[in-house]
Amino acid sequence: MPELVFFSGTMDCGKSTLALQIEHNRSSRGLQGMIFTRDDRAGEGKLSSRLGLVTDAVEVQDGQDLYASLVDHLSQGGRADYVIADEAQFLAEEQIDQLARVVDDLDIDVYAFGITTDFRSKLFPGSQRLVELADRVEVLQVEALCWCGARATHNARTVGGVMVVEGAQVVVGDVDRADTVGYEVLCRRHHRRRMTSASARAAALSPDVLPVQQV
């Protein structure tokens, strides 16, 4: 039975790498996939991983009907044995419904990859719909780690190096960026305390506020 699978995790946990591996394994056996993405860091129409691999993809537009795109492609003699949708958190709820319809009405497997929650720990609408509709939700096996060594479960956004909890939901960016907007994955405890690696380091280095007087 074809499935809608949501591979989810924090930023930097290997989602795009897995998407590229699934694509490689299937295409090397003669299958042909339709690859969708949206706002990948590598630029328009790209699906890229931090391991350096990249492939061309269809850049999803606002209001694009993904089911209709597949039907058009097939009716023009194109093939689509499976569908990959990376950065699926950026898709609209309706577009996730359309992907579910691709599975049910066209009998095509759909593999969606994305982060579940944003920098405020709130669900992205696309990810929420995926959790609601997917046949399976798979959490990536490679654990991204918080600076404390615990499993990272949350995404923090930093502006000028300082963690923020307000702002637009979508700001394309990367981890390990100290410039304007950056991201860091944290465990829940440190996300709640707004303690990034930089602020933890600063706290460890700062002299005691009330130094003990020698008498």
Ligand X SMILES: Nc1ncnc2c1ncn2[C@@H]1O[C@H](COP(=O)(O)OP(=O)(O)O)[C@@H](O)[C@H]1O
Ligand Y SMILES: Cc1cn([C@H]2C[C@H](O)[C@@H](COP(=O)(O)O)O2)c(=O)[nH]c1=O
Mode of pairing for the β-strands spanning 162-164 and 181-186: unpaired
Residue 173, judged by CB atoms within 10 A of its CB (0-12, 13-18, 19+), counts as: middle
Task: Indicate whether 16 belongs to the interface with ligand X (CB under 6 A).
Answer: yes
Catalytic hit among 3, 59, 87, 166: 87
Tell me the two tokens of residue 163.
Answer: 């963690």
Q: Choosing among ligand Y, ligand X, none, which partner's interface includes residue 182 (Cβ < 5 to 8 Å by kind)? A: none
What is the contact surface with ligand Y in residues (CB under 6 A)?
11-12, 15-16, 41, 115, 118-119, 155, 157, 169-173, 183
Mark the segment that binds ligand X (CB under 6 A) among 48-56, 59-67, 89-97, 202-210.
48-56
Between 10 and 70, CB nearer to ligand Y: 10
- Using CB under 6 A, pick the residue from 80, 99, 144, 163 that binds ligand X: 144
Q: How far is the CB of 12 from ligand X (least distance, A)?
A: 5
Exposure string for 92-107, b = 16+ CB within 10 A, e = fewer: bbbbbebbbbbbeeee
Are residues 92 and 45 in contact, defined by beta-carbon separation less than 8 angstroms? no
Q: How far is the CB of 161 from ligand Y (least distance, A)?
A: 16
Q: Choosing among ligand X, ligand Y, none, which partner's interface includes residue 17 (Cβ < 5 to 8 Å by kind)? A: ligand X
Exposure string for 47-83, b = 16+ CB within 10 A, e = fewer: bbbeeeeebebbbbeeebebbebbbeeeeeeeebebb
Which residue bears the tokens 């990367």? 174
Annotated binding residue 42: no
Annotated binding residue 45: no
Task: Indicate whether 190 belongs to the interface with ligand X (CB under 6 A).
Answer: no
Task: Indicate whether 185 belongs to the interface with ligand X (CB under 6 A).
Answer: no
Task: Indicate whether 50 belongs to the interface with ligand X (CB under 6 A).
Answer: yes
Helix axes 66-75, 93-106, angle to 10 degrees: 40
Task: Indicate whether 91 belongs to the interface with ligand X (CB under 6 A).
Answer: no
Strand partners, 34: 83
Task: Indicate whether 101 belongs to the interface with ligand X (CB under 6 A).
Answer: no
Q: Please, which residues have CB within 8 angstroms of residue 45's CB and are 6 or more apart in sequence?
A: 37, 56, 57, 58, 59
Active-site positions read 87
Q: List the binding residues.
A: 9-16, 86-89
The residues of the shown chain that bind ligand X, judged by CB under 6 A, are 9, 11-17, 49-51, 142, 144
